[in-house]
Chain A
Amino acid sequence: MLPLQVEQVTKEYGDKIAVNAINLAVREGEIYGLLGANGAGKTTTMRMVLGLIYPDKGQIRWKGQGYRDELRALLGYLPEERGLYPKIKVGEQLLYLAELRGMGRKQADRELKLWLERFEVPEYYGKRVEELSKGNQQKIQFIAAVIHNPDILILDEAFSGLDPVNVEMLKNMVKLLRDAGKTILFSSHRMDHVEELCENICILHQSNTVLQGSLKQIKASFPKERVVLETSDPVEGLETIAGVSSVDKHMNGYELRIREPQAAQRIVQHAVGSGAAVQRFQLMEPTLNEIFIQKVGRAHE
C-alpha cells in the first residue's frame, strides 16, 4: 500500500481539460518530481492531491483510502505562491496553522522552536512576517508546511526565489524529511534540483503526461548525443566527421553533437590522428533540462 496513489485522474474546467488521465504513485521516503511548463496542469494535480478539488474521473488514494477529514493532519503543503499573514507574528501564525491541522498548542510550540533552530533563525519567533526578507519568509513558509509532521508533503516550487546558500539549506531539509520516511510530491522548474532529489518523475505537457518513470531509465532511454572533448592543441576538421551535427568551441575544448553513437568513436580517432593529446573525452548523458525542452518544446518556457 503506497502512501499516495493517483490513478487515471482527469479534471475538466468547463470544456477545457486541465489534467488528462494522470497516474502517479509515491513511496515512503521518496521524492517524486512533477514537472511541466506553466499551465501544464501541475497546480490542478496538486490541488486534487490536497483534496481541494475532486477529480472528474479516476481516483486518488491516500494510504490506500479515499478522501477523509483526518487527511488535513496528514498532508503538508508548500504553495507556489507564498503567503503568510504579513502583520502577525511568526510564532502566532505558525501555531495557528499547526493547530488547524490538529496539533496541540504546546507540542506545536516545541516543534516550531525546533524548526527555527534548524534554520538557525530562532530570533524570528516574535517577529512579524513583513519584517523578514523574502528568503527568510520562505523558510517560515516551509516550516508552516512541515510543522505538524505530515506524512505526505506537497512542495510546489520549493526553492524559487532563494539565494544559493538558502537553496542548499532547504534542500538539505527536504532530504532530511525524505530520509525520515516522508512521501514527497515535488515540483520545480529547476531541472538540476529535480535531478538531484527525485527518483521518479512525471512530465506534464498541456494536461497530458508526456514522459514518466524512473529518472535513471528515462535518461538511459535517451540517446547520448553530446560529446565533450578536451585536447592540448586545437583539432581541425571536427565538423567534417560523419555523424557530427554541430561543434561548439569552448575555452579549453569542444562540445560536439552527434547523430549516431558510432560517431563518438570516429571523433576520438580523429582527435588522436591529428596529433593533439586528448585530455578528456566523454560521451555525456542527456541532462533532464535537455529532455524536458525536447519533450515540452522551447515555446513553453
Chain B
Amino acid sequence: MNSMLTVIRFTFLSRFRSKSFRVMSLILVVLLSILINLPTLIDKLSTHEATGIAVVGGGESRIAERLEAYYGQQEQPDIRIVPLQAVGGDEEAEARQMIADGKIKGYLQIGAGAAGEFPQVTYKSEGSLEFSLKNKLQTALQQVKTATVLEDANLTAAQQTALRTPVSLETVQISASGQAAGGKSESQMVMAYALVYALLFLLYMGVVGFGNMVAMEITAEKSSRVMELLITSVAPLKQMFGKIIGICLLALVQIALIIVVAVLNLGLSGNSELVQELHLSWGDLQVSLIVYFLIFYLLGFFIYATLFAAVGSLVSRTEEVGQAIMPVMMIIVAAFMIAILGLNHPTAGYVKVMSFVPFFSPLIMFLRIGMTSPAVWEIWLAIALQAAAIVGMAWIAAKIYRTGVLMYGKRPSLRELRKAMRAFKV
C-alpha cells in the first residue's frame, strides 16, 4: 500500500510539474474563457445600427408604409425601411444603386397579388443564407398581413389583442414509473441539456486525453527501460494502479480548474446576459447531476484507463502507442457518438439498452440521468455493472501488464501473449 502511494505521488507530481501540463491547462483556460465570452464579445464588436432595406413595387398594398409603421413602433428596430426617391420610375435600378452605394443591404420586391390576397414578396440582396434576416422579415410581413386582414374584419381592439397574444405552451418532464426522484421543469431541462452537453464533452475529452496519458506513460517507461527497475522495486499491480490513480488525480485537478474557470467567466457581469438568454439559472442546477457526473467520470476513466494500461504495457516504443490504442479509441468514440445522438432522443430504446453496457454506460447512463429521470435502481444497476466490469478489466489488465512489461520487441499477437502469460505464470 505504501509503495502504491509513492507511485501515485510520483506520477501525479512529475506530471503536474511538467511544462506540458501547465501549457495544456493554460491553453484550456484561455480557450474556455474565450468560448464563454464569445457571444458577449461578438455583441460588443458588432454595430447595433438597423439594417437598411428598401421596398420596390406594391404601391397599392401600402406594404412599405405598413412595414415602416411596424418598425417605427419598436424601440430598437433591427431593420429600417429606406424610402426610394424615384417613385413610379425604375425603382429596382435605383434600389440596386443604393445597394452598391452601401445605403441599404437589400430590397423587398412586392409582386402582383390577386385582389384581396397578400402579394408574393421576394427579398433580394448580395448576401446569401441570411436566415435570421429572412426570419425577421417574415415575422414583420406576417404582422403586416394580419393587420391588413384585421382592418377589414371590424374587430374590437380587445379582440385584436386577444388574437395576437401567442399561445403559452410549457413542457414538463415527468417520471412515468413514479420511482424516480421526480420530474424536471422546462428551465431545469434547459439547464440539464446545457450541462449534460458540456459534461459529456468533458467526460469524453477527459477519458480520451488522460487515458492516452496512461498508455503513453507506461510505454515511455518501457521504452526508456526504467520499467526494468520499477518492476523489481514494486509489484506490477500496485504500480499499474498507482499510475492510473495518479493520472486520475491529475484529471480531477483539471476538471476542477475547468469548472472554476467556467463559473468565474459565467459570473462575470458581461455574461449574465448569455446566462439569461439560455434561461439558465443556478437554482436549476441539480447538485445530484454533478455528483453523478463525478461518479460516472471516475467509472469511465477507470475502465478505459485499465484498458489503456494493458495496451500500453504491450507496446515497446512510444511511436507505436497511437496505433495500438486505436481499437480502444474506437469504443470511446462510438460511446460518444451514441451519447450525442441520444441527447435528442434520450428515451429511445437503444439509449436505454446502451446505458447498461459497460464501457458505454458512463456516458450514456449519465446522459439519461441528465435528460430523463431513470429509476434509481436503473442507475445503480448501471453503476454496479460498470464497477464489476472495472474489476474484471483490472484483473485482465493486470495479467496483461505483468506479462507485457517484460516483453520487448514487436507488439505481441494474442497467441504470443497467451503463451507468454503461461510461461510467466501470471
Contacts and interface: CB of A to CB of B under 8 A. Distances in A.
Interface in B412-426: 419-420, 422-425
Given A47-B406, A88-B14, A100-B6, A144 B229 contact: yes
Given A14-B419, A54-B425, A81 B228 contact: yes
B69 interface: no
Interface residues of B, number: 27
Given A47-B406, A53-B424, A102-B3, A81 B233 contact: no
Interface stretch (B132-140, B188-196, B219-227): B219-227
B233 A13 contact: no
Given A53-B406, A54-B425, A85-B226, A69 B419 contact: no
Contacts of A99: 3, 6
B225 A13 contact: no
Contacts of A102: 2-3
Given A13-B423, A53-B406, A79-B228, A100 B235 contact: no
A96 B225 contact: no
Contacts of B423: 11-14, 53
B208 interface: no
Interface in B5-50: 6-7, 10, 14, 18
Interface in A47-82: 47, 50-54, 69, 72, 75, 77, 79, 81-82
A86 B419 CA distance: 33
A179 interface: no
A47 B230 CA distance: 13
B420 A86 contact: no
Contacts of A88: 14
Main SS class of interface, A: loop
Contact of A52 (B3, B7, B231, B419): B231
Contacts of B235: 69
B403 to A, nearest CB: 10
Contacts of A96: 6, 10
Given A53-B425, A100-B7, A83 B226 contact: yes
A84 interface: yes
B86 interface: no
B168 interface: no
Nearest to B18: A87
B225 A82 contact: yes
B224 A85 contact: yes
A239 interface: no
B233 A101 contact: yes
Contacts of A22: none
A100 B232 CA distance: 10
Which range holds the interface residue count of chain A? 20 to 34
A50 B6 CA distance: 21
Nearest to B406: A52
Nearest to B10: A96
Contacts of B275: none
A102 B234 CA distance: 9
Interface string A26-53: 0000000000000000000001001111
Contacts of B420: 13
A93 B425 CA distance: 30
Contacts of B425: 53-54
Task: Give the most central of B2, B18, B228, B234: most A CB within 10 Å.
Answer: B228
Nearest to A75: B232
A79 B224 contact: no
A12 B420 CA distance: 10
B226 to A, nearest CB: 5
A116 B227 CA distance: 23
A228 to B, nearest CB: 43
Interface string A1-27: 000000000011110000000000000
Contacts of A101: 233
A256 to B, nearest CB: 46
A100 B234 contact: yes
Interface string A81-113: 111111110001100110111100000000000
Nearest to B14: A88
Given A52-B406, A54-B425, A69-B235, A83 B6 contact: no
Contact of B225 (A11, A79, A145): A79
Nearest to B4: A100
A51 B232 CA distance: 8
Contact of B14 (A79, A81, A84, A92): A92
Given A96-B10, A102-B3, A72 B234 contact: yes
Contact of B228 (A53, A54, A75, A83): A83
Task: Give the most central of B2, B18, B226: most A CB within 10 Å.
Answer: B226
A96 B243 CA distance: 13
Contacts of A14: 419, 422-423
Contacts of A75: 232
Nearest to A82: B225
Nearest to A72: B233
Contacts of B230: 97, 100
Nearest to B227: A83
Given A13-B420, A100-B3, A77 B228 contact: yes
Given A52-B406, A53-B424, A77 B224 contact: no
**Ranked 6 nearest A-B pairs via Cβ:** A83-B225, A100-B233, A79-B228, A81-B225, A13-B423, A100-B234
15 contacts: A13-B419, A13-B423, A50-B232, A52-B232, A52-B406, A75-B232, A77-B232, A83-B224, A83-B226, A83-B228, A85-B221, A96-B6, A96-B10, A100-B7, A100-B233
Given A54-B424, A100-B7, 14 more contacts: A12-B423, A54-B425, A79-B225, A79-B228, A79-B229, A82-B225, A85-B226, A92-B14, A97-B233, A99-B3, A100-B3, A100-B6, A100-B233, A101-B233
